[in-house]
Amino acid sequence: MTIEFRIDPYPDNNALNALRAAAWNEAASRDFSPILSRSLAHIGAFDGLRLVGFVNVASDGGTHAFILDTCVAPEFRRRGIATRLVEMATNVARDRGAEWLHVDFEPHLTEFYRRLGLAATEAGLIRLLD
């Protein structure tokens, strides 16, 4: 298996929706073009033409960047793909002027993000839609 990592590949909606459906059992389809057009960066992992991993890096337009939507297709997990996606996202965010990189994650991912150098912080969250 040779995985190719690409910065800002602008995958089509079908590819992103298929990956999210596989990775998170998310059935709802979305239009990602407005999201990706405003992102600081995004990284895709490809097995041939198939998108098998993805991470989005959002920005406040200043010094803060945010890792969002890190996902890997289930049959490609435990091969270092997510690690490489986050490492690349970190480097690209730094190269594009971010001074701080934030990520929110579920408790079972704590060790993964800690190994990549992301320190624990307090954060707040409010759900805006029911």
Distance CA 93, CA 112 (A): 19
Q: Give the Cβ contact number of residue 110 at 10 Å.
A: 12
Looking at residue 91, its pLDDT comes to 97
Distance CA 109, CA 70 (A): 11
Looking at residue 128, its pLDDT comes to 83
- 97 in the Ramachandran plot: left (φ > 0), alpha (ψ -120 to 50) or beta? left
pLDDT in tens, 40-56: 999 999 999 999 999 99
The domains of the chain are located at 4-115
Q: For the full predicted model, state whether its pTM sits above 0.85.
A: yes
pLDDT in tens, 72-103: 999 999 999 999 999 999 999 999 999 999 99
The answer to whether residues 58 and 68 touch, using CB atoms and an 8 Å cutoff, is: yes
The answer to whether residues 107 and 76 touch, using CB atoms and an 8 Å cutoff, is: no
CATH architecture of the domain with residue range 4-115: 3-Layer(aba) Sandwich (3.40)
To the nearest whole number, what is the mean pLDDT of the chain?
A: 93
